[in-house]
């Protein structure tokens, strides 16, 4: 329903640098009410009818505008860190240390990435602490203790460092084995790596951070499984995750594939949404499976990696030839000390491709909304689910166009509420787009 956080340096490459994002935020509406109980009260309509898009609270608009500023700072910082490590010759020094510790060049690449991860973790720490601990607490969106934050941060560092060391070692092996086609072999290898990650993450990685289990409400679980049967999903699994130890926000998502595919609901969502609203959310998540969005995402990710590495291949050599001495004698891309440059260039590719990638993501989310509506035919429940997502997560339902273009992986909640109100082809006898995907 909303984007999930990602661990790892390769997974969190920055998307965009644009100070104009502040313009997209705009001023808060003049009539935006304060956070009073009357403003936040939600009642499900007793009869079908359009659900109004709530005016965002003053707190929500502050969260939105400060989030835009924080995103700009984080993006600039994400570009600055690898640049500074290159210009300060810090990357070359880390390489020398890795060669002494790893002794063999093959092992030294993995050791280098472990050292690089530790250094960047420390450099990122003040901003990470503020963004994911101080700020959510200031807006009353977090239940997380400082101890849990540190535990998750260090565990995330360990997981991303180990996985990243394997990825980077493979990349630099291809660089030495095939200097002209390394980008192709590395990109193609990313496909089975993505598939393996999709299989492993739900079972072995996600439970490291939160407790997953069967739903506590057996009746609601039976209704969800019956809905999955109608959606044509065989062997579906539904998990409840204890996210209330970390956050007050609500979310649900799909993950895994083949025998590890599952739909995950945060316990905060189950506590704050009514039964009908939860069933629509489940219909939306089932749509991702039925419409093949998981596979599409893996294939698209592979293509993006291929393109990004090709850009690195075409540009890095010239940059190293010109600035290699300033980087501490890093003249070849096969030198592991070039890793900050590789990551910086991939970040810039991500920056350029973000609008296209996010547009594809928004379209997939929109089609999953359509699927959920056709499966449940409960427009008011769908609209109210989006209203609660807006209010519980302090969302701006009508963000500026630059925000939507550069940051939004989901359609704005205002648009989703409007669609939930108006999409009713079954009432006029029109054919349903996904009727052939559902069982009677």
DSSP at 247: B
Whether the Cβ atoms of residue 250 and residue 388 lie closer than 8 Å to each other: yes
Specify whether the CB–CB gap between 175 and 334 falls below 8 A: yes
Give yes or no for a contact between 368 and 287, defined as CB atoms under 8 angstroms apart.
yes
What is the three-state SS of 109-153?
HHHHHHHHHHHHHHHHHHHHHHHHHHHHHHCCCECCCHHHHHHHH
**What are the DSSP calls for 383-440, one per residue?**
HHHHHHHHHHTT--SS--HHHHHHT-SS--HHHHHHHHHH--GGGTTPPPTTGGGS--
In whole angstroms, how far apart are CA 59 and each of 64, 139, 391? 9, 8, 10
d(CA 298, CA 306): 12
* Beta carbons of 303 and 190 less than 8 angstroms apart: no
| Cβ atoms of residues 294 and 288 within 8 Å | yes
Distance between CA atoms of residues 47 and 381, nearest Å: 11
Residues labelled as active-site residues: 285
């Amino acid at each position: 329903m909303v984007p999930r956080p990602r661990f790892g340096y390769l997974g969190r490459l920055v998307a965009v640098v644009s100070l104009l994002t502040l313009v997209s935020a705009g001023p808060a509406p003049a009539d935006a009410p304060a956070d009073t109980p009357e403003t936040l009260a939600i009642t499900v309509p007793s009869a079908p009818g359009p659900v109004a898009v709530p005016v965002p609270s003053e707190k929500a608009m502050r969260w939105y505008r400060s989030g835009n500023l924080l995103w700009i700072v984080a993006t600039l910082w994400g570009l600055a860190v690898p640049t500074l490590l290159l210009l300060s010759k810090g990357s070359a020094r880390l390489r020398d240390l890795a060669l002494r510790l790893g002794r063999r060049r093959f092992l030294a690449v993995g050791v280098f990435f472990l050292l690089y991860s530790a250094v960047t973790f420390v450099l990122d720490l003040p901003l990470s602490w503020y963004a994911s601990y101080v700020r959510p607490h200031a807006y009353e969106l977090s239940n997380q203790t400082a101890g849990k934050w540190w535990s998750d941060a260090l565990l995330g560092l360990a997981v991303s460092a180990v996985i990243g060391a394997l990825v980077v070692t493979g990349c630099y092996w291809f660089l030495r084995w095939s200097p002209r086609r390394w980008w192709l072999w590395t990109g193609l290898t990313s496909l089975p790596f993505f598939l393996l990650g999709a299989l492993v993450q739900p079972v072995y990685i996600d439970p490291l951070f939160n407790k997953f289990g069967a739903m506590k409400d057996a009746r609601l679980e039976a209704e969800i499984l019956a809905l999955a049967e109608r959606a044509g999903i065989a062997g579906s699994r539904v998990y409840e995750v204890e996210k209330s130890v970390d956050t007050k926000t609500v979310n649900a998502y799909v993950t895994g594939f083949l025998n590890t595919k599952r739909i995950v609901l945060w316990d905060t969502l189950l506590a704050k949404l009514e039964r009908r609203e939860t069933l629509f959310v489940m219909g939306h998540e089932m749509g991702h499976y039925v419409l093949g969005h998981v596979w599409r995402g893996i294939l698209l990710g592979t293509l993006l990696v291929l393109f990004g590495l090709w850009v690195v291949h075409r540009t890095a050599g010239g940059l190293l030839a010109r600035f290699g001495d300033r980087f501490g004698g890093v003249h070849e891309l096969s030198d592991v000390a070039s890793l900050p440059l590789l990551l910086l260039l991939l970040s810039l590719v991500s920056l350029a491709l973000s609008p296209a990638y996010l547009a594809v993501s928004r379209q997939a989310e929109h089609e999953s909304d359509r699927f959920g509506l056709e499966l449940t035919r409960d427009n008011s429940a769908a609209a109210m689910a989006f209203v609660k997502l807006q209010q519980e997560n302090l969302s701006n339902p009508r963000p500026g166009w630059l925000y939507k273009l550069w940051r939004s992986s989901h359609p704005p909640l205002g648009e989703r509420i409007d669609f939930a109100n108006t999409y009713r082809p079954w009432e006029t006898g029109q054919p349903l787009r996904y009727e052939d995907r559902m069982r009677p």
